[in-house]
């Protein structure tokens, strides 16, 4: 009852028309990324995700994963493992991985569109390859050669999958508290012991082996986050020559029963002196982990995007179909017993909110991914450094805003269905339940906001922020004389100016009291997100009118942009007022008196 069609046209528009990716790929020497090839791959990706993954979404939710206490085995929902086999056979696993390890080395920004399709089609299933992608990044950047040969190639081929084992029962956002131990052994390996929780894809029936990347402490490690190292701990032991041996002492103790993503296994993993291999430098595990986390954070942002689009598509179809009441300005379909609910202004408001946030989010995420491409492929060191700084600034925004908007938009889309949205068969409530994890895992919205404001803006003196400001300024200057664009450029320039002022005000107050950062962070994050989306919507109008698009497409872009500027961008007013009210109104009430 809940369907998905990959929005290929808007994806192409976003990547090629707005972000001008063809020129970028050429400049970066991504020779295989020719437009005709990419278009063909998109079509195939749509076929795979719509045909194989989407039909398993509701059944996977209803069935969930099961865990056998005796053996520790986890069984995924019917069809999931077979879909993974098709994914591997289709060559999808290595789409963006380096050719040197067997990948196809297509740009990350292009891979993001495939990722969006997967998440829209079947978010729970998508978590299995997502974690492999993170492991790939960590191994690519920090692994020794033999580790790449043995583990990375098999993850890239899809033969094995990866995980990220960070969280422990007492230690979620605060990794400094972690207790898992790593004891050196004579053969250069380590014995890893401890318990990790909330391990996505920690155990499953897709592959014979699973490559866990585990944070643990060496015996002499300093306390806190400076004493954490990263280890490769395969489910089945593998030697340096790649020979598969006995089962390792890693065991899935149980799986969580969750609000949503029932088809994803979320595991408690027990490491009992398991054989592990240090990756990167001792006590520098967080560096390597951040490589994975940044990738994973963008990926979770894309999950939000996928959910928004799927929710929107279904709500739109229902709103065109469902007859209920007459338009207040007179019957629009007098021959029908009632008008379709899409005539009602507030239904349109909800649909347009999904459309504006969804299509805007696609551009924001793609922009971040093009920066990954520049970082990985540019031959100009300054350009790579700039891209890195800008990406660091944008990553928490993509992660947090897109996921928060997915919670909002799955809410709106469900609301369009009325009571039918609340019953399982229509599939809308699943999207809302699935969305709810995205603002939590890979760092909550609160953690992202502190990363953005505390680390990227205040501590690093806003290197990325300055690039965002320059981007906005140059765009506004370029279109300053364009009357047709002034309805967008004027409010965008005003929003950018107020954002700069806000940033200065917060920085000033933070000098007095660092808690002012925490008090402003989430509102600041949203201000950033709404400003960025304003930029992308204005650029969308320019790109739509420059290209050879039909009138309907151009109208849709311009009207959605108008809606965005009229009804979404003004959210910044409330966020700015909250920020300007300062931290005292949050800090004054004694913790003991909240329920006085």
Residue 335 tokens read as 């021959």
> Taking CB under 8 A as the rule, does residue 331 contact a second copy?
no
> Taking CB under 8 A as the rule, does residue 316 contact a second copy?
yes
Residue 124 tokens read as 């729970």
Nearest approach in angstroms of CB 213 to a second copy is 18
List 191, 221, 440, 471, residue binding a second copy (CB under 8 A): 440
Query: CA 257 → CA 198, 222, 413, 496, distances in Å?
Result: 11, 36, 25, 44
List 60, 102, 421, 462, residue binding a second copy (CB under 8 A): 421
Nearest approach in angstroms of CB 261 to a second copy is 9
Residue 205 tokens read as 């029936």
**Judged by CB under 8 A, which stretch of 118-126, 235-243, 299-307, 584-592 contacts a second copy?**
584-592
> Taking CB under 8 A as the rule, does residue 376 contact a second copy?
no
Nearest approach in angstroms of CB 341 to a second copy is 9
Query: CA 130 → CA 127, 254, 533, distances in Å?
Result: 5, 21, 25
> Taking CB under 8 A as the rule, does residue 424 contact a second copy?
yes
List 419, 481, 483, 548, residue binding a second copy (CB under 8 A): 419
3-state secondary structure of 235: coil
**Judged by CB under 8 A, which stretch of 17-25, 138-146, 384-392, 588-596 contacts a second copy?**
588-596
Over the window 450 to 489, marking each residue x when it contacts a second copy by CB under 8 A and - when it does not, the resulting string is ----x-----------------------------------
Q: Output 446 or 460, the one with its CB closest to a second copy.
A: 446
Is the distance from CB of 456 to CB of 462 less than 8 angstroms?
yes
Handedness of CA 276, 281, 283, 288 (dihedral sign): negative
List 91, 172, 282, 547, residue binding a second copy (CB under 8 A): 172
Nearest approach in angstroms of CB 306 to a second copy is 16
> Taking CB under 8 A as the rule, does residue 257 contact a second copy?
yes
Nearest approach in angstroms of CB 414 to a second copy is 7
Nearest approach in angstroms of CB 289 to a second copy is 17
List 25, 277, 441, 526, residue binding a second copy (CB under 8 A): 441
Nearest approach in angstroms of CB 529 to a second copy is 14
Q: Output 65 or 197, the one with its CB closest to a second copy.
A: 197
Question: Known catalytic residues?
Answer: 442
Nearest approach in angstroms of CB 390 to a second copy is 25
> Taking CB under 8 A as the rule, does residue 251 contact a second copy?
no
> Taking CB under 8 A as the rule, does residue 414 contact a second copy?
yes
Q: Output 160 or 565, the one with its CB closest to a second copy.
A: 565
Size of the site for a second copy (CB under 8 A): 104
What's the Rg (C-alpha) of the chain?
24
3-state secondary structure of 560: helix
Residue 274 tokens read as 């398991």
> Taking CB under 8 A as the rule, does residue 226 contact a second copy?
no
Q: Output 290 or 422, the one with its CB closest to a second copy.
A: 422
> Taking CB under 8 A as the rule, does residue 583 contact a second copy?
yes
Residues 258-297 binding a second copy (CB under 8 A) are 258-260, 266
How far is 48 from 117, CA to CA, in rounded Å? 9
Residues 513-542 binding a second copy (CB under 8 A) are 513-515, 517-519, 521-522
How far is 270 from 195, CA to CA, in rounded Å? 5
Look-up of token digits 């069984």: 75
List 32, 59, 486, 581, residue binding a second copy (CB under 8 A): 581
Count Cβ neighbours within 10 Å for each residue of 119-158 and write b for 16 or more, e otherwise: bbbbbbbbbbbbbbbbbbbbbbebbeeebbebbbbbbbbb
Residue 199 tokens read as 């391990």
Nearest approach in angstroms of CB 453 to a second copy is 11
> Taking CB under 8 A as the rule, does residue 587 contact a second copy?
yes
Q: Output 106 or 519, the one with its CB closest to a second copy.
A: 519
Strands 181-184 and 161-165: unpaired
Residues 191-220 binding a second copy (CB under 8 A) are 197-198
> Taking CB under 8 A as the rule, does residue 1 contact a second copy?
no
Residue 272 tokens read as 């009992």
> Taking CB under 8 A as the rule, does residue 590 contact a second copy?
yes
> Taking CB under 8 A as the rule, does residue 553 contact a second copy?
yes
Residues 102-141 binding a second copy (CB under 8 A) are none
How far is 37 from 437, CA to CA, in rounded Å? 35
Residues 6-25 binding a second copy (CB under 8 A) are 7
How far is 124 from 204, CA to CA, in rounded Å? 13
272: part of which helix (H) or strand (E)?
strand 266-279
List 51, 222, 418, 511, residue binding a second copy (CB under 8 A): 418
Q: What are phi and psi of 495, to 5 degrees?
A: -65, -40
**Judged by CB under 8 A, which stretch of 87-95, 173-181, 203-211, 473-481 contacts a second copy?**
173-181
- 484-490, Cβ contacts within 8 angstroms, sequence gap of 24 or more: 484/545, 485/538, 485/541, 485/542, 487/562, 487/565, 488/534, 488/537, 488/538, 488/541, 488/561, 488/565, 489/538
Q: What are phi and psi of 50, to 5 degrees?
A: -70, -40
Q: Output 146 or 422, the one with its CB closest to a second copy.
A: 422
Is the distance from CB of 103 to CB of 157 less than 8 angstroms?
no
| Angle between helix 515-546 and helix 571-580 axes, rounded to 10 deg | 160
Q: Output 375 or 437, the one with its CB closest to a second copy.
A: 437
DSSP state of 284: B
Residues 337-366 binding a second copy (CB under 8 A) are 337-338, 340, 342-349, 351-352, 355
**What is the CB-side half-sphere exposure of residue 542 using CA atoms within 13 A?**
21
Nearest approach in angstroms of CB 352 to a second copy is 7
Measured in residues, the chain has a length of 596
């Amino acid at each position: 009852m809940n369907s998905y069609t990959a929005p290929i046209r808007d994806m192409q528009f976003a990547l090629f028309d707005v972000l001008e990716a063809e020129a970028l790929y050429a400049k970066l020497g991504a020779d295989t990324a020719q437009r005709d090839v990419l278009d063909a791959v998109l079509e195939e990706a749509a076929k795979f995700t719509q045909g194989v993954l989407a039909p398993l979404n509701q059944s996977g939710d209803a069935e969930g994963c099961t865990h056998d206490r005796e053996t520790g085995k986890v069984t995924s929902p019917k069809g999931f493992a077979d879909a993974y086999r098709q994914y591997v056979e289709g060559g999808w696993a290595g789409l963006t991985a380096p050719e040197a390890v067997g990948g196809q080395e297509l740009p990350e920004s292009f891979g993001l569109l495939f990722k969006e399709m997967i998440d829209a089609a079947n978010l729970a299933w998508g978590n299995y390859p997502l974690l492999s992608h993170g492991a790939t990044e960590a191994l690519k950047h920090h692994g020794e050669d033999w580790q790449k040969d043995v583990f990375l190639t098999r993850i890239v081929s899809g033969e094995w999958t990866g995980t990220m084992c960070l969280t422990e029962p007492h230690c979620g956002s605060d990794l400094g508290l972690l207790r898992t131990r790593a004891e050196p052994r004579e053969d250069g390996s380590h014995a890893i012991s401890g318990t990790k929780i909330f391990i996505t894809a920690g155990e499953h029936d897709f592959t014979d082996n699973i490559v866990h990347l585990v944070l643990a402490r060496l015996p002499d490690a300093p306390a806190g986050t400076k004493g954490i190292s990263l280890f490769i701990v395969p489910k089945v032991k593998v030697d340096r020559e790649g020979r598969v041996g006995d089962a390792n002492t890693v065991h899935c103790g149980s799986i969580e029963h969750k609000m949503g993503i029932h088809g994803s296994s979320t595991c408690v993993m027990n490491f009992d002196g398991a054989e592990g291999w240090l990756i990167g430098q001792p006590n520098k595990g967080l560096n390597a982990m951040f490589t994975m986390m940044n990738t994973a954070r963008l990926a979770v942002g894309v999950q939000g995007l996928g959910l928004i689009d799927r929710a929107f598509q279904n709500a739109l179809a229902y709103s065109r179909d469902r007859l209920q009441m007459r338009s207040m300005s007179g019957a629009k379909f007098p021959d029908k017993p009632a008008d379709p609910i899409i005539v009602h202004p507030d239904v349109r408001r909800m649909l347009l909110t999904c459309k504006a946030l969804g299509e805007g989010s696609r551009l924001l995420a793609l922009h971040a991914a093009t920066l990954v491409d520049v970082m990985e492929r540019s031959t100009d060191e300054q350009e790579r450094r700039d891209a890195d700084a800008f990406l660091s600034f944008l990553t928490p925004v993509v992660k947090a805003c897109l996921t928060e908007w997915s919670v909002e938009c799955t809410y709106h889309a469900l609301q369009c269905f009325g009571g039918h949205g609340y019953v399982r068969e229509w599939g809308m409530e699943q999207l809302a339940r699935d969305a709810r994890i995205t603002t939590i895992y890979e760092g909550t919205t609160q953690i992202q906001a502190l990363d953005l404001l505390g680390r990227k803006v205040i501590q690093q003196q806003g290197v990325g922020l300055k690039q965002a400001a320059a981007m906005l300024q140059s765009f506004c200057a370029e279109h300053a004389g364009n009357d047709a664009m002034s309805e967008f450029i004027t409010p965008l320039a005003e929003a950018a100016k107020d954002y700069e002022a806000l940033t200065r005000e917060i920085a000033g107050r933070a000098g007095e009291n660092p808690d002012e950062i925490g008090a402003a962070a989430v509102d600041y994050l949203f201000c950033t997100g709404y400003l960025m989306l304003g930029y992308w919507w204005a650029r969308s109008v320019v790109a739509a009118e420059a290209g050879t698009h039909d009138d309907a497409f151009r109208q849709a872009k311009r009207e959605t942009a108008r809606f965005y500027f009229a009804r979404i961008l003004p959210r910044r007013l409330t966020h700015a007022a909250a920020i300007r009210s300062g931290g005292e109104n949050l800090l004054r009430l004694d913790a003991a008196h909240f329920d006085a």
